[in-house]
Amino acid sequence: MSKVTCSRLGANTFFAFKKKNGFLPFERQNIPSRSHPLTLDVEEQLCRLKSSGATSSSFSLTCHNLSGLSTLYDSMEHLLQSSLAQQKISSERSNTCINEVVDGSLRLLEICNTARDAFSQTKECVRDLQSSLRRKDEIGLVTEVQLFKYIGSLERR
pLDDT tens per residue across span 24-61: 444 444 444 566 788 888 888 888 877 776 555 677 77
Check residue 94 and give its pLDDT.
60
H helices present in the chain, as ranges: 37-53, 59-81, 83-90, 95-135, 138-156
Domain that holds residue 59: 35-90
Residue 4 counted as domain residue: no
The answer on 105 and 86 residing in a single domain is: no
pLDDT greater than 50 at residue 106:
yes
- How far is it, in rounded angstroms, from Cα 49 to Cα 114? 16
Over range 87-108, report the average pLDDT.
76
- Scored b (16 or more CB within 10 A) or e, 67-97 reads ebbeebeebbeebeeeeebeebeeeeeeeeb
The number of distinct structural domains making up the chain is 2
Task: Say how far apart CA 141 and CA 135 lie, in whole Å.
Answer: 9
Q: Tell me the pLDDT band of 23, cut-offs 50, 70 and 90.
A: very low
Angle (CA) 19 23 26, round 5°: 100
Residues written for the chain: 157
Cβ atoms within 10 Å of 136's Cβ, excluding its own: 8
Count of CB atoms within 10 A of residue 65's CB?
A: 19
Does residue 44 or residue 17 have the better pLDDT?
Answer: 44
Decide: 118 and 109 in contact? Cβ < 8 Å.
no
Residue 155 inside a domain? The answer is: yes
Share of the chain above pLDDT 70, in %: 67
* Residue 50 belongs to a domain: yes
> What does the pLDDT look like over 56-79, one tens digit per residue?
567 777 777 788 888 888 888 888
* Same domain (yes/no): 78, 105: no
Residues 126 and 84 occupy one common structural domain: no
Q: Is residue 21 part of a domain?
A: no
Judge if 112 and 135 occupy the same domain.
yes
Do 57 and 110 fall into the same domain? no
Both 68 and 104 in a single domain? no
For residues 20 and 36, the answer to whether their CB atoms sit within 8 Å is: no
pLDDT score of 118: 83
74, 124: one domain: no
